[in-house]
């Protein structure tokens, strides 16, 4: 796998882009470098006809949808976005079929007690389809907005500080946010999703590879199906409700939050938690279950992919199906049921409306 050389990239396109977000700069390097040109005569309708790489920056609530047109539409209260385009041609030193490794920079955020929480640097692999792909960097005006991107967008990268909702995207997604809810609905493919202060809510989605991480808030998964998932949080809890797993790797880990795992199907669950802090509530009892001093194993639904659950200071809750169908639960289960119910009410039941452009 090729790691992008930002030094070489800087000499190609200039330091002003490299000084911005490192992940966005790396995706620019993936694009096919060349001289810039005007994006479109109409700033509200941007040509994007060759499976583009799209980078969106925003500071206010945004909804991102896909459609079947080869253009990008930005509706932000009548003000046009700022668009920078890099036309598609092969980047020096890279083969079009090479899998690329996009660097995710380390980032820190202060906790309520004043102690900094740092999410370390990572690399996330993306596979660019063969051919020429324009790269479009779009700075959305500072108003609540709706953006439509082509359904065949090769890579979608989003960086923002306001609430984000992503609908119906199928491809390779990198979403980084500092605060506000980050919602994915009916999304599939490969995704890196990070939210420092806000919550992550993923619903009715399927992933080949999913990496999620938060510093201070929860992440909620509702009716999802994954082949490979790594979900980590420092102070937040993780709820994977009424979800399923395909053969692959699955790991849920928190430092001080709780983990709730509701499986719809088969799985072999391995838990490392605190003694006396692992709870279960199965409608269909596991064929195997044991809990030895904070390390538990459960064979659910006849067994299946291995799912690892780790918490250093929190509790672990294991069940089958959905928490919302449980009528009577001990009071402490409210620590994971309440965040799930809030997320459903705010982002699933009352989803924001948006107007499709004519």
In the chain, the largest separation of any two C-alpha atoms, in whole Å, equals 67
pLDDT in tens, 173-192: 999 999 999 999 999 999 99
State whether the Cα torsion 9-10-16-21 is positive or negative: positive
Beta-carbon contacts of 4 under 8 Å, excluding residues fewer than 6 positions away, are 26, 29, 30, 100, 101, 102, 103
pTM for this entry: 0.85
Domain boundaries, the chain: 1-160, 214-358
The answer on pLDDT for 354 being more than 70 is: no
Q: Whole-number mean pLDDT of the chain?
A: 85
- Joined tokens for residue 247: 């053969």
3-state SS class at 71: strand
Tens of pLDDT, residues 186-240: 999 999 999 999 999 999 999 999 999 999 999 999 999 999 999 999 999 999 9
When comparing pLDDT for 314 and 349, which is higher? 314
pLDDT in tens, 256-312: 999 999 999 999 999 999 999 999 999 999 999 999 999 999 999 999 999 999 999
**pLDDT (tens digit per residue) in 97-143:** 557 889 999 999 999 999 999 999 999 999 888 888 899 999 999 99
pLDDT at position 358 is 59
C-beta atoms surrounding 358 within 10 Å: 4
Q: Which of 111, 154, 113, 107 is nearest to 135 (CA)?
A: 154
Q: Answer yes or no: is pLDDT of 2 > 60.
A: no
Cβ atoms of 309 and 261 within 8 Å: the answer is: yes
pLDDT, residue 132, reads 86
The burial of 74, by beta-carbon neighbours within 10 Å (0-12 exposed, 13-18 middle, 19 or more buried), is given as: buried
Say whether pLDDT at 32 is over 50. no
Find, among 232, 53, 283, the residue nearest to 150 by Cα. 53
pLDDT-derived band of residue 34, with 50, 70 and 90 as boundaries? very low
171 Cβ partners below 8 Å, 6+ apart? 152, 153, 154, 155, 156, 189, 190
Cα–Cα distance for residue pair 157/30, rounded to 1 Å: 12
- Helix axis angle, 22-30 to 6-13, nearest 10°: 70
Tally Cβ neighbours within 10 Å of residue 26. 26
Q: How many CB atoms lie within 10 A of CB 16?
A: 8
| Contact by Cβ (8 Å): 70, 150 | yes
Region of 59 (left: φ > 0; alpha: ψ -120 to 50; beta: rest) is alpha
């Amino acid at each position: 796998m090729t790691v992008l050389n930002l030094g070489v990239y800087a000499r190609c396109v200039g330091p002003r882009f490299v000084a911005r977000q490192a992940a966005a700069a790396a995706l620019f390097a993936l694009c096919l470098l060349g001289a810039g040109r005007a994006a479109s005569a109409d700033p509200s309708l941007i040509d994007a006809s060759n499976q583009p790489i799209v980078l969106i920056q925003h500071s206010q609530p945004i909804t991102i949808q896909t459609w079947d047109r080869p253009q990008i539409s930005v509706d932000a209260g009548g003000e046009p976005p700022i668009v920078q385009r890099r036309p598609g041609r092969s980047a020096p030193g890279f083969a079009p079929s090479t899998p690329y490794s996009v660097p995710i920079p380390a980032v820190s955020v202060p906790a309520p007690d004043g102690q900094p929480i740092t999410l370390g640097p990572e690399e996330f692999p993306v596979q660019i389809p063969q051919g020429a792909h324009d790269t479009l960097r779009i700075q959305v005006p500072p108003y609540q907005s709706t953006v439509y991107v082509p359904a065949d967008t090769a890579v979608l990268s989003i960086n923002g500080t306001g609430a984000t909702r992503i609908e119906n995207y199928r491809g390779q997604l990198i979403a980084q946010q500092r605060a506000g809810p980050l919602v994915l609905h009916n999304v599939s493919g490969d995704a890196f999703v990070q939210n420092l202060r806000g919550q992550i809510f993923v619903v009715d989605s399927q992933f080949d590879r999913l990496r999620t991480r938060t510093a201070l808030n929860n992440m909620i998964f509702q009716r999802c199906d994954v082949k490979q998932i790594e979900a980590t949080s420092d102070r937040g809890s993780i709820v994977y409700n009424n979800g399923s797993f395909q053969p692959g790797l699955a790991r849920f880990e928190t430092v001080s939050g709780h983990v709730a795992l509701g499986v719809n199907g088969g799985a072999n669950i391995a838990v490392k938690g605190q003694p006396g802090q692992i709870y279960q509530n199965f409608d269909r009892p596991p064929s195997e279950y044991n809990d030895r001093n904070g390390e538990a194993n459960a064979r659910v639904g006849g067994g299946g992919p291995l799912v690892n659950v780790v918490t250093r200071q929190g509790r672990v809750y294991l069940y089958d199906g959905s928490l919302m169908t449980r009528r009577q639960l001990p009071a402490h289960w409210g620590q994971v049921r309440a965040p799930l119910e809030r997320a459903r009410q705010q982002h699933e039941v009352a989803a924001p409306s948006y107007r499709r452009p004519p």
